[in-house]
C-alpha cells in the first residue's frame, strides 16, 4: 500500500474484473478534478491486505471510500467494520468465476447483482455501508462529491453546476422533441 497520500477519495475494488464498472466513478471524480487513489483488495483472497488497507485509509485521512465488489461482496462491509470513514458500496454484476468457461452466460453473477447489492446494503446494525444501485459506479462518485461538498464549498458549487447542466439538457431535449415531433425525434436519438 502506498505510504504518502493526500487524496480525498479512495476507490477500492475486489478484483481487476471490477474495473470495467468502477472506472465510471473515476470518470466523475476526474471531471471535477477531485484527487483519488485506486487499489485492488480482495476480501477473501487477501484478507491481510484488507487490514493493511484499512489502516492505510485511516492514516491517509480519506474523506470517503468507494468500494466495489461482486458476488458475495464482503469488501465494502469489511472495510466499514475497520474504519469510521464513510463507505459507499458499489454492487457489481460481472462475476468472473474461474471455475466456469467464460461464456456470455457465465459473465454474470448467479443473481444478476442482487447478491452483491444485498451483501452490501444488509450490513448488520452498527456498521453501515451505503449502497448505490447495481453497477451504478458513477452514482457512487457523485455521492462521494456530495459528502465532500459539505466541507468544501468549491465542490458544492461544481455539483450545483452539474445539476444545472442536467436541468438544461432536459429542457433542450424537450424543445427539440417539440420541434421535430415524436417520430423524427426518436429516429434521431435512438437510431
Ligand atoms: C469479488 O469476486 C470481486 O469483487 C469480483 O467481482 C468477483 C470475481 O473476482 P475475480 O474472479 O475476477 O478475481 O471478490
Cα(79)–Cα(155) distance, integer angstroms: 25
The number of C-alpha atoms within 13 Å of 74 and in the hemisphere containing its C-beta is 11
pTM (two decimals): 0.88
**Position in ligand 1 atom list of the atom nearest CA 42:** 14
Class of residue 122 by CB neighbours under 10 A (exposed 0-12, middle 13-18, buried 19+) = exposed
Instruction: Using the mean position of ligand 1's atoms as its centre, give its distance from the Cα of residue 69 in Å.
Output: 7
Give the containing element (helix H, strand E) for 130. strand 130-131
Residue 37: C-alpha distances to residues 4, 12, 30 (Å): 11, 8, 11
Instruction: Using the mean position of ligand 1's atoms as its centre, give its distance from the Cα of residue 40 in Å.
Output: 10
Cα(153)–Cα(44) distance, integer angstroms: 39
> What are the pocket residues of ligand 1 if the criterion is a CB atom closer than 6 Å to any ligand atom?
14-15, 17-18, 42, 69-71, 92, 95-96, 98
**Position in ligand 1 atom list of the atom nearest CA 17:** 12
Tell me how long the chain is.
Answer: 191
Instruction: Name the closest-CA residue to atom 3, ligand 1.
Output: 14
Residue 134: C-alpha distances to residues 22, 52, 166, 167 (Å): 11, 27, 22, 25
**Per residue of the chain (191 residues), what is the pLDDT tens digit?**
554 446 899 999 999 989 999 999 999 999 888 999 999 999 999 999 999 999 999 999 999 999 999 999 999 999 999 999 999 999 999 766 666 666 666 667 778 899 999 999 999 999 999 999 999 999 999 999 999 999 999 999 999 999 999 999 999 999 999 999 999 999 988 87
**Position in ligand 1 atom list of the atom nearest CA 14:** 4
Instruction: Using the mean position of ligand 1's atoms as its centre, give its distance from the Cα of residue 39 in Å.
Output: 14
Predicted local distance difference test score (pLDDT) of residue 5: 43
Instruction: Name the closest-CA residue to atom 14, ligand 1.
Output: 14
Predicted local distance difference test score (pLDDT) of residue 140: 98
At residue 11, the 3 state secondary structure works out as: strand
Predicted local distance difference test score (pLDDT) of residue 23: 96
Which parts of the chain fold into alpha helices (H)? 19-31, 47-60, 75-82, 114-121, 137-149, 153-180, 182-190
Amino acid at each position: 500500500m502506498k505510504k504518502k497520500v493526500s487524496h480525498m477519495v479512495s476507490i477500492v475494488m475486489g478484483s481487476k474484473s471490477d474495473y470495467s464498472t468502477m472506472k465510471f466513478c473515476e470518470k466523475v471524480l476526474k471531471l471535477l478534478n477531485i484527487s483519488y487513489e485506486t487499489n485492488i483488495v480482495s476480501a477473501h483472497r487477501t484478507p491481510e491486505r484488507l487490514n493493511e488497507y484499512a489502516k492505510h485509509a485511516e492514516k491517509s485521512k480519506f474523506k470517503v471510500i468507494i468500494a466495489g465488489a461482486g458476488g458475495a461482496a464482503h469488501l465494502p462491509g469489511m472495510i466499514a467494520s475497520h474504519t469510521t470513514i464513510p463507505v459507499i458500496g458499489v454492487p457489481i454484476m460481472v462475476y468472473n468465476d474461474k471455475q466456469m468457461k467464460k461464456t456470455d452466460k457465465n459473465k454474470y453473477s448467479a443473481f444478476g447483482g442482487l447478491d452483491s447489492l444485498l451483501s452490501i446494503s444488509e450490513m448488520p446494525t452498527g456498521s453501515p455501508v451505503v449502497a448505490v444501485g447495481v453497477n451504478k459506479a458513477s452514482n457512487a462518485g457523485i455521492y462521494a462529491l456530495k459528502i465532500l461538498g459539505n466541507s468544501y464549498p468549491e465542490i458544492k458549487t461544481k455539483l450545483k453546476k452539474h445539476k444545472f447542466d442536467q436541468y438544461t439538457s432536459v429542457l433542450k431535449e424537450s424543445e427539440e422533441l417539440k420541434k421535430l415531433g415524436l417520430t423524427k425525434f426518436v429516429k434521431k436519438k435512438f437510431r
